[in-house]
Amino acid sequence: MARLIIKEMATGTETPVEDVSLELTNKDLIDQLVEGGVLNPLSDDEKSQYYGYIILQNGRITEGNRPLRDFGFQDGNTVEIVKKAVGAK
């Protein structure tokens, strides 16, 4: 289990989170952060415009739906999150 700093890039808000499994996928982490109130749920308008949350590491988008460990995240790292258009579904 790891301690991560969640940084919402639009606001600069940093929130420490404890006991995060690095086996969680990037999508699972976002879902848990929304459920836990760290990130705001997407509005209906944002959903209709195909917005979503994206995890960045060192300024690069974490592609695919893989465990955080596969992207190189470790205990104490900062996870950068942005909201952006992700394309039609």
Query: Which residue, among 23, 83, 82, has the nearest Cα to 57 in the 3D structure?
Result: 82
The domains found in the chain, sorted by start residue, are: 2-85 (3.10.20.90)
pTM of the model: 0.85
**3-state SS, residue 64:** coil
Q: How far is it, in rounded angstroms, from Cα 23 to Cα 12?
A: 26
pLDDT of residue 81: 94
* Tens of each residue's pLDDT in the chain, 89 residues: 999 999 999 899 999 999 999 999 988 999 999 999 999 998 999 888 888 899 998 888 888 789 999 999 999 999 999 998 876 55
